[in-house]
Chains A and B, each alone.
Chain A
Amino acid sequence: MSDKTSAANSANDNKWIGQRTIRPDGADKVTGRAAYAADTTMPGMIWGKVLRSPHPHARIKSINTKKAEAYPGVKAVITAKDIVEFPLDKSVMLGIQDMRWMCRNVMAREKALFAGHPVAAVAATSEKIAAEACQLIEVDYEVLPFVIDVEEAMKPGAPVLHDFIKHEGKPSNIAGRLEHKLGDVDAGFAKADVVIERTFRTAPVHQGYIEPHACLVSVSDGKATIWSSSQGQFMVRAMCAYLTGIPQNDIRAIPAEIGGGFGGKTIIYLEPLALVLAKKTGRPVKMVMTRTEVFHASGPTSGSFSRIKMGATKDGKLVAASGTFCLQAGALPGSPIRGAAGCAFAPYDIPNVFSEGFDVVSNRSKVAAYRAPGAPIGCYGTECVMDEIAEALKMDPLEFRLKNAAKMGIKAAHGPVYPRIGFVETIEQAKTHAHYAAPLPKAANGKLYGRGVASGFWFNAGGESSAQVNVNEDGTVVVITGHPDIGGSRASTANITAEVLGIDYRKVSVLIGDTSTIGFSNLTGGSRVTYASAMVVTQSTEHVITILRERAAKIWKIDPDAVIWENGEARPAGDNAGKFEPLSLAQIAAQASATGGPIGAGKQLNTTGAEGGFATHLCDVEVDQDLGIVRVLRYTSFQDVGRAIHPSYVEGQMQGGAAQGIGWALSEEYIFNKDGKLDNPSFLDYRMPVCSDLPMLDSVIIEVPNPKHPQGVRGVGEVPLVPPLAAVSNAVYNALGRRFYALPMSPPRVLAVMDMKQAAE
């Protein structure tokens, strides 16, 4: 087995923070007992199914549902008429989502905008009957010309999706633009000795969560209960309220266990349809997407076209950079241009930067967030150009990065002046790691070997979180937070509570509350959950400690200020306070009713100060010249996480992100046929890495504590997906001596480049 170097940099004397505890929800998840959304049933439950447009772009002239409604077993049929319409001229935002687009995404209104766009939904006594009834719905389409590719969609004369979107005064598919500026790029490039300018393309890739979207909705006496798989029950409630007109107090959204999201479950698809169907029929309605539907109609991330230009002096100092990032939004606006344009140059100290992003609509499903949204696309181009400049300057690529690495006090083009960050440490550790010194195999038997490096950045995120910490009568503790646990966050919450309170981890239970049992908590996403929930759980627990000290003071009849809390016990602050035996949490809890009643506290915060996260990755590849197959042989990630509350789940994020990035680089892509329909909507044809494709994924946790967080946390989950696209690309270049400027580097593309190489030779 390969070496294990994780947590090498951890230095703390904590008892629970940094421990690899067993997750509280673990046993349920290894025994099959954990209830995911599709596992939920109710008495009298019926099934909903969606009819989807076969056309990538078509005006909906009429929909006749009569035959479907008459079909035995059918209970209700709905169309866009049953969803609240938000007029096109007025934006209604919920987080980053505009209800104008959401109401048109969950159900096609004026037009079907992609193959797979819902046009109607049926509720029936069985899933089979519902699906059959969908085929009886008659939709009269006026088929329109379509455009899917982002470059094509930007060209003059391209079919325009939305007349109301105007760019430079004319109807256009360019729905938005943003830019970041720092210094004077022209003056900067004039000082450069080496300037490299390249264009890059990436294919749309899907988040690839194994659990399809699913929900169960019951409406009784006008009050709705929603069980669904999402990255945020409060988002589900708010969007369903908007799209159905039911007030939020009449909707209870219960987070089911979630089978992966990676950003793709930060919006809703089925929930408002099931809610309207349940309201119409008076029966609980269950809806589950098939895998094909997930691929057709839930959000992959953007395909992209970027142009990057970077310049450096001959001593290896970057002097200017500019980038244009064109991202495919899909049917409705909202591609992650902020992530692409904002993160692309963020790792470096570059005095002159111009970075712009274009949000471009086209006839595929609406983009959804995907792990560090936009950042992998931005950093892919930058990190490949960095590699080329280093080569032109005859500098080691890590040395070149180190020389230009952003550090405290540097102003980033996207806005902030960096506080203490740990980017330099990721490069330094990569440079001295055994992986970087290990010799590559010699080319043999038609196989070539190469090594690549790349770095990456993500903003990280704070935002709203709520927690409640209750002390039970026996001194054990229940913590409730409002974030779906997507990858072990209950374990980190328990670690934090146990640490702050000074009690055994196993005495802490962690529950995820629903929208009626815990205060508002924003999405599980953006690498914010451990950051924000650690803050709010810490403050709640500290408040509980204040109460415990007051209770001990009452029992001892002394001043609360004369009581300290230490190792899970109340003690007199000193000899002056009096001589008392310490009171344990259990002893105080047992006397709670006599000393003032139940003990518990909750906090609700809008957290700030989640500082940026950085990583550097090393990748070794083998390229089979005859088959065009690229295999990753060795992979090591170095990431500054601030503080690893639970190192195993931190490593898990680093490894999982690396694997997704390797898939993005080598094998994953949406392939559309000439009719504008996705040609590979299955796990067989949409090729995500399987076990036998990958090596061990070594992860080196670096802890440069975030000074703005009680435990030093920065956030973990997003950054790991940022460097791999370029790390793999640079390794393939190192092996082949020929560079790819488009992803994925799938076997047919590799063979094409090999042919070109041979022709050139």
Chain B
Amino acid sequence: MAKIHVSTTVNGEPQEFLCDAEQSMLDVLRGPLGLTGSKEGCGSGDCGACTITVNGRIVCSCLMLAAEAEGQKIGTIEGMADGETLHPLQQKFLEHAALQCGICTPGVLMAAKALLERNPDPSEHDVRFWLAGNLCRCTGYDKIIRAVMETAADMRGAAR
């Protein structure tokens, strides 16, 4: 079958690619687009390691067909920092040691960023339920939760 031509935007840049009809967005990101920051932990939408944003909404890219990216705005972990300047969440994750092996970290960061864009003052409960789709086996989540809440507090302070 002929490949599908897709025109989309990835991390603010126009992007075109060809994909098979059944190919997932994750496969295209990691393969032809070379954006391997999104990880595949399960391929079934259970672990969240492949979390990206589509028009600002978080999506498991392993469950999205690549062809669905046509005309959408895709955001990946590679677009989170501003050049050498880390996003406040990225910086706080480092300061709090909120990662050990780091394989879940891109997905967790993408999801956390989407949370703070919607809710700048989340409770611990809010953060725990928002991130419940992102498995982490190393940290027990403690330092992740603390890092997200402290980033939210810092960003609120900065916005004042």
Contacts and interface: CB of A to CB of B under 8 A. Distances in A.
B137 to A, nearest CB: 5
A212 B41 contact: yes
B102 A34 contact: yes
Interface in A672-719: 682-684, 688-692, 694, 696-697
B97 A691 contact: no
Given A31-B78, A655-B143, A659-B141, A209 B101 contact: yes
A559 to B, nearest CB: 45
Interface residues of A, number: 57
Where chain A touches its partner, the secondary structure class is: loop
A313 to B, nearest CB: 39
Interface in B84-107: 86, 90, 93-97, 99-106
B77 A31 contact: yes
A26 B94 contact: yes
Interface in A1-35: 1, 20, 22-23, 25-27, 29-35
A31 B46 contact: no
A480 B32 CA distance: 34
Interface string B51-70: 00000000000000000000
B95 A22 contact: yes
B149 interface: yes
B103 A652 contact: no
Nearest to B150: A1
B151 interface: no
A33 B105 CA distance: 11
Looking at chain B's contact residues, the main secondary structure is loop
Given A291-B41, A659-B140, A32 B94 contact: no
Interface in B122-160: 124, 127-129, 131-146, 149
A209 B103 CA distance: 9
A31 B90 contact: yes
Contacts of B44: 291, 682-684
A30 B93 contact: yes
Q: Give the most central of A29, A646, A697: most B CB within 10 Å.
A: A29
A657 B138 CA distance: 8
A410 interface: no
Contacts of A542: none
A649 B138 CA distance: 10
Contacts of A640: none
B96 to A, nearest CB: 7
Contacts of A660: 137, 140
Interface string B18-51: 0000000000001000011111111110110100
Contact of B131 (A39, A684, A691): A691
A36 interface: yes
Nearest to B22: A128
Interface in A184-218: 207-212
B144 A210 contact: no
Nearest to B87: A30
Contacts of B37: 31-33
B138 A32 contact: no
B101 A30 contact: no
B100 A487 contact: yes
Given A210-B39, A211-B39, A291-B44, A22 B140 contact: no
A211 B101 contact: yes
A691 B40 contact: no
Contact of B97 (A20, A207, A211, A689): A20
A692 B129 contact: yes
B119 to A, nearest CB: 15
A257 interface: yes
A651 B35 CA distance: 32
A355 B146 CA distance: 43
A211 B41 contact: yes
B116 interface: no
A658 interface: yes
Given A210-B135, A210-B136, A652 B97 contact: yes
Nearest to B99: A29
B145 A696 contact: yes
A683 B46 contact: yes
Interface stretch (A89-97, A138-146, A258-266): A258-266
Contacts of B10: none
Nearest to A31: B81
A262 B35 CA distance: 27
Given A210-B103, A649-B100, A652-B100, A30 B109 contact: yes
B40 A38 contact: yes
B29 to A, nearest CB: 10
A691 B145 contact: yes
Given A683-B42, A696-B145, A39 B36 contact: yes
Nearest to B78: A32
B80 interface: yes
B43 A691 contact: no
The 5 closest A-B pairs by CB, nearest first: A32-B37, A259-B103, A659-B140, A648-B97, A29-B102
27 contacts: A1-B124, A1-B146, A20-B97, A22-B94, A30-B106, A30-B109, A31-B77, A31-B78, A32-B35, A32-B36, A32-B38, A36-B103, A39-B30, A207-B137, A211-B39, A259-B41, A288-B40, A649-B100, A655-B142, A656-B138, A683-B44, A691-B127, A691-B129, A691-B141, A692-B128, A694-B140, A694-B141
Given A23-B97, A684-B46, A694-B140, 13 more contacts: A29-B105, A207-B137, A210-B101, A262-B137, A291-B41, A486-B101, A648-B97, A651-B97, A652-B139, A656-B100, A656-B138, A659-B139, A697-B142
Interface of A: 1, 20, 22-23, 25-27, 29-36, 38-39, 207-212, 257-262, 288, 290-291, 486-488, 646, 648-649, 651-652, 655-660, 682-684, 688-692, 694, 696-697
Interface of B: 30, 35-44, 46-47, 49, 76-78, 80-81, 86, 90, 93-97, 99-106, 109, 124, 127-129, 131-146, 149
